[in-house]
Structure 1
């Protein structure tokens, strides 16, 4: 019996890599895997190819190349990059929505049955029209387009929370007080940012450890999730809880300092940081509803367990990652009870 083919658009990105890494180790129902990249000669693409993933070249703006790349696929996973440099060109008139529609149309023409998109609900809708955030609103438009008109047998959004891995971006640290790289004058690592809003239930996600498993879990039983937005969450904490987890894991002093007005967060006109600033505004206006609904981790935990067991994992290895584990692994030795 031939294996079902799953194709990943953006195969060498953080999300795409996580999805492929998880699917590759399925021992119960192995899939055939294909990765799409604009540069098959890159080191990341070569690594994928060496691991057994079929690597094909295609460009998101080139519909014909995408149709060819998607052909024969039972399912596809797609993440579009809101921070692609093409969108920073002031003369560029194309949008992320335009890109997403090309990808969706190509998948339809290729006969794809299951479409999983790294999508979001609309910031403008979440805030009752008070605030738009381009990346959220564009990804929502793509997600709604994919769901509409019976294009696919199954369409699902796997919506990622705030990345654990954002703490590894050294260029981001100075914008947010220096945490976890640059201590203040008193030696404390400070995370300076607006509060989240509502119950301060920030939905953190480990892209490396959990996001791929959550998508994998969706693909093991996709009909159950048809038309739904799945909250991809590893650990739900306040920002105070985040820095406390860092202290516990590393024995280094850290604290959260609030920026009272989210509009006062200085982002220097950088496109990707403008999105983060808007995200804080969206969450404060909506009472912390990053996903549009109340944040919950039960769904992600179930999907993680399903996929982890399909990979042969047992016990604690089937659970979601924690901030303590992440910070202990990246910044110091974890404390034991």
Structure 2
């Protein structure tokens, strides 16, 4: 029997990377090398127990990237803008992996990319954590690396962290402050990504060279609040915050996020049908909330 080919996953202990590692291990087609900055953390040990090879890697170090990619068939790359908030650094990291993949002759890169918003809007909107990934997508193509970009929408899981319901100012339950008004938010569970990447790898001739705009559901903030209330038993409502009021929160971060929401309102090239084809077991928002009711209830304090 031929030896399994090696597939490398950066960010193996993060939300995207761990989903990919688990799906590949469960399928068994590839040997999996998970890359993390801290191989001693519990999440890394858990993946090791499932059968992954866990190694230390640094996206800022050329020798480190070359070492973890040597001998690989392909790689899943996710970069973490929130780790440093530097567009330039994220572009440099992505280009380093692109150059190394080219020099080592990797057969398939699956990149967690995003739109180059600044370019698409002729400079009217800048969203640094989008624009950087958009530039990296373009660079992969410029140097002719076989790459598929999976562009994730908002995560359902953001409701556990960045956009979790807050106590209402008037004391009457909780509110969700997502400035999309009546425009549906395209979204998905990041945990459903792994099987999608596996499907792409198993039909690579269909997907190399493509940018796939993923989402499994679309819900307005008001609909989110209704579904959350139904499953948690808590009174949760839409804060009905405008993008302009959201942006007034006096931070470069909020300005960038406000521009992201502006872009969400005009972006239309999501591919729900293909997303469900890549992972037929994906969840709707209602299904995800129902499954995670305990966690959601626990954060409502």
- On whether the aligned pair clears a TM of 0.5, the verdict is yes
Structure 1 position 263, deviation (Å): 5.7
Q: How far off its partner does 1:270 sit?
A: 6.3
Partner of 2:299: none
Name the counterpart of 1:241.
223
Spell out, residue by residue over 1:46-66, the C-alpha distance to the aligned partner (whole angstroms, 9 max, x if none).
Answer: 222222101122211111121
Instruction: Quickly say closer, same or farther: Cα 1:149–1:104, change in 2 above 3 A.
Output: closer
Conserved 8 A contact 1:160-1:232: yes
1:328: Cα distance to partner?
Answer: 2.1
Number of residue pairs matched by the alignment: 295
Task: Give yes or no for contact 2:181–2:240 (8 Å, CA) kept in 1.
Answer: no
Partner of 1:308: none
Match of 2:290 in 1: 328
What is the aligned partner in structure 2 of residue 212 from structure 1? 194
Q: Is 1:100 aligned to 2:94, yes or no?
A: yes
After superposition, give the CA deviation of every residue in 1:121-141 in whole Å (9 maximum; x if it has no partner): 111233343111111111000
Equivalence for 1:35: 34
Q: Paired residue for 1:295, among 263, 270, 273? A: 270
- Give the stretch that moved more between structures: 13-22 or 117-126: 117-126
- Counterpart of 1:159 (choices 140, 151, 155) is 151
Q: Deviations over 1:144-177 (max 9, x none)?
A: 1111232x2x2110111101111111xx35xxxx
The runs of 5 or more residues in structure 2 that have no matched partner are 296-301
Match of 2:184 in 1: 201
Post-superposition offset of 1:182: 2.6
Alignment check: 8 A CA contact 1:75 1:113 kept: yes
Q: 1:31 Cα shift? A: 1.3
Q: For the aligned residues, what is the CA RMSD?
A: 2.4
SS of residue matched to 1:240:
helix
Query: Does structure 1 conserve the Cα–Cα contact (< 8 Å) formed by 2:76 and 2:111?
Result: yes
The 3 A distance-change label for structure 1 pair 117 and 267 is: farther
Gaps of 5+ in 1: 88-92, 174-178, 306-317
| Deviation by residue 1:251-270 (Cα, 9 ceiling, x = unmatched) | 33222132234364344526
Superposition map of 1:116-265 within 5 A: 116-150=110-144, 152=145, 154-169=146-161, 172-173=162-163, 179-195=164-180, 200-208=183-191, 210-262=192-244, 264-265=246-247
CA distance in 2, matches of 1:86, 1:244: 34
Change (3 A) 1:328 1:185: farther
**Ranges of 4+ aligned residues in structure 1 off by more than 4 Å:** none
Distance 2:135 2:32 in 1: 27
